[in-house]
Structure 1
Amino acid sequence: MISPPVTPPLRRRDIVFDFSAKIPLHWLGGHCHRTRFYDAMSIMFPEGERAFIESVQHYRGRIRGDASLDRTVKEFIAQEALHGREHVRYNRHLREQGAPVERLERRVAGQQAFARRYLAPAVRLSITVCLEHFTAMFAEEMLSEPRSLDGAHPSMADIWLWHALEETEHKAVAFDVFQAVIAGSFRRYALRCSAMLFVTPIFFSLLWRMTFELIRHDGRATDLRGWGALLHDRLVGNGSLVRMLPQWCAWFRPGFHPLQRDSRALIERFNQRFNERFDGGGDSADRRSDADS
């Protein structure tokens, strides 16, 4: 097994993004379908971030003896809480624009309520680890491929790149907790592989259904050109989901660790971007407390 790089230090970038009325409905270059794919992910995030925090927090007492991991988990929780806060505000903006956010949020909440009621903590942690791998794959794609947000409104580009940066930073934290608290290498391997096979169709089914419902609400469900552009971006040829497939397959290697894929250069590049734009108070965000979350 190749030793992974050391987990990078996690930083809390407490940025409050500007979701003003100046942001157009289809903020990604005027493209309805491309915009709504991202908006659907945002609607999924607040409940998802809450579930990630809960599943890791459940095992916090078991890792107290590892001061480094415990400190990293604390920062992971802080980052995820900030992500949830900002996506609550993002989703409120969508709701104010007329999108059926509450109905879609109830669907996500229903899935999480089922998991809390019926799934064992170890299973919920394994699901968290899988979904953190998904967010890390999406994040790397976003940070490494400039075209992914080509034409985006600056405020919307900022929140997605900020979120992607921090997901990349903490992509191994839940995995390290999983490794530390689930006994038996074979059990860990079987649990994480079976969880990935379970999670993948559920995650993508929910994401695409919610994307469709947002597009239908916009009256563009029969816009074949719009669907063609979105599917080309994501699924055709060298689309983003196709490019992520090798990382998804890597999950099933017995010795897999998220940090075997070294993202330190990406982290440094975008850390500099956010240092320069926001540390002194930027034009589309500031560092005040979120008084209206």
Structure 2
Amino acid sequence: MAGLSQKISREVEIIPRDVSFEVATKQVPRYWFNDDPWSTHWMNALFSVVPVGERFICHTFADQLKKIKDPSIHKATLGLIRQERLHAREHAVMNETLSGFGVPLEDAEAILGKVLDVFKKYMSDETKLGFAAISEHFTASLSEVMFDNLELWDETELEIAAMMYWHFVEETEHKSVAFDVLMDRRSDDSDLGTYALRMATAGLSMGLFLPLIHGIWLYFVWKDGQLTNVRSAFKSFKSLMFGAAVVPKMFLTKTLPYIKPSFHPWDIDNRAHVAAWKTVYEETGDPLLAFTALREWHAKHGSYKPTIKQAATV
């Protein structure tokens, strides 16, 4: 399995796609995610940490470029850095729009920025790589869950959904790069030592960022005066925690394979889940058309059952 997964990681081309969604110039609804306050603020909590988090990833791997031994991993790392810079740019624009609704995104960015400043100052390069590897596993897991639950976005503004799935596709595309860099840098060390580093950084990351994201979520809900909106809270928990179960799958079910000593991100080969998006984008350069093609593929081959609103377009 490990040999096949490593082969896939060398076959997947990391392509930076310079996409501009111009969401700041559009009328984005206040509750843009399924017209629901609690659900929207959960996504806002994720959005709040994207720009600063992606920049941390870029800096971490830029510092490692000269130390990577494997030329194919070096090339993939360059692709990852370029993709993450574009993700940070587009999410920063989206965050400016959300801040216009009074969402205190700058508070969340400041908190995460202070945490990452501590990482940069006190942690070794290989420890930072361990954090980057588990962080990229979380984003790849979130992407995988979202591919399995496209219906979550049926009531969301098309351009925002297209932006998110551009991000999910590219997170899937480069999902093994951080892990491969860590393994490359640790190639002269013992397997046990590398595994211990992986588990330590995974445990600390879970213990730190899972409460942080959900604390930010509740903070946003409170600042918006929606803390007593029981209907919205129920709708959000039903979807995120139980129905689509985004949170349990992202942080638990999808994380469990990471514990295996033989784990590799491409042990789950979901290239087919993003192939339709990539094909149409390569032909048209249009992320909205690519997102439509992605929905069509999943409606035919996956578990996606579009709502009445979306059924006519799929």
TM-score (norm 1): 0.90
User: What is residue 216 of structure 1 aligned with on the other side?
Assistant: 222
The counterpart of 2:196, out of the listed 171, 190, 194, is: 190
User: What is residue 122 of structure 2 aligned with on the other side?
Assistant: 118
Question: How far apart in 1 are the matches of 2:222 and 2:184?
Answer: 45
**2:236 alignment partner, SS class:** helix
Q: Which 4+ runs in 1 deviate beyond 4 A?
A: 280-283
Question: How far apart in 2 are the matches of 1:281 and 1:269?
Answer: 12
Relative contact order, higher structure (CA 8 A, sep 6+): 1
The counterpart of 1:87, out of the listed 88, 91, 113, is: 91
**1:241 alignment partner, SS class:** helix
Code of the residue aligned with 2:161 in structure 1: it is: A
CA offset at residue 282 of structure 1? 6.2
Aligned residues: CA RMSD: 1.9
* Residues 143 and 165, structure 1, Cα contact 8 Å, conserved in 2: no
**1:212 alignment partner, SS class:** helix
**% of aligned pairs identical?**
26
CA offset at residue 234 of structure 1? 2.1
Q: Aligned in 2, Cα 1:228/1:281: closer, same or farther, shift over 3 Å?
A: closer
Code of the residue aligned with 1:41 in structure 2: it is: L
1:109 aligns with 2:113: yes
Q: Aligned in 2, Cα 1:141/1:238: closer, same or farther, shift over 3 Å?
A: closer
* Residues 34 and 230, structure 1, Cα contact 8 Å, conserved in 2: yes
CA offset at residue 238 of structure 1? 5.5
User: What is residue 262 of structure 2 aligned with on the other side?
Assistant: 255
Code of the residue aligned with 2:237 in structure 1: it is: L
The counterpart of 2:30, out of the listed 4, 25, 34, is: 25
Question: How far apart in 1 are the matches of 2:148 and 2:85?
Answer: 25
Flag structure 1 segments of 5+ consecutive residues without an equivalent: 284-293
Aligned length in residues: 282
Q: Aligned in 2, Cα 1:121/1:280: closer, same or farther, shift over 3 Å?
A: closer
**1:236 alignment partner, SS class:** helix
Summarize deviations over 1:221-270 as a string: whole Å, max 9, x none: 11122112222222226612233433211111110000010011012022
The counterpart of 2:253, out of the listed 241, 246, 255, is: 246
Flag structure 2 segments of 5+ consecutive residues without an equivalent: 290-314
The counterpart of 1:274, out of the listed 251, 263, 281, is: 281
* Residues 281 and 287, structure 2, Cα contact 8 Å, conserved in 1: no
1:170 aligns with 2:177: no
Q: Aligned in 2, Cα 1:96/1:178: closer, same or farther, shift over 3 Å?
A: same
* Residues 162 and 288, structure 2, Cα contact 8 Å, conserved in 1: no
User: What is residue 61 of structure 1 aligned with on the other side?
Assistant: 66
Q: Aligned in 2, Cα 1:219/1:273: closer, same or farther, shift over 3 Å?
A: farther
> 1:135-150, aligned counterparts within 5 Å?
135-150=139-154
* Residues 99 and 217, structure 1, Cα contact 8 Å, conserved in 2: yes
TM-score (norm 2): 0.85
CA offset at residue 150 of structure 1? 2.5
**1:235 alignment partner, SS class:** helix
**2:254 alignment partner, SS class:** helix
Code of the residue aligned with 2:60 in structure 1: it is: S
CA offset at residue 194 of structure 1? 1.3
Code of the residue aligned with 1:50 in structure 2: it is: R
Question: How far apart in 2 are the matches of 1:88 and 1:129?
Answer: 23
Code of the residue aligned with 2:276 in structure 1: it is: R
* Residues 58 and 84, structure 2, Cα contact 8 Å, conserved in 1: yes
Question: How far apart in 2 are the matches of 1:234 and 1:71?
Answer: 36
The counterpart of 2:102, out of the listed 98, 101, 106, is: 98
1:230 aligns with 2:232: no
CA offset at residue 18 of structure 1? 2.2
CA offset at residue 144 of structure 1? 2.3
User: What is residue 15 of structure 1 aligned with on the other side?
Assistant: 19
Code of the residue aligned with 2:279 in structure 1: it is: Q
* Residues 241 and 248, structure 2, Cα contact 8 Å, conserved in 1: yes
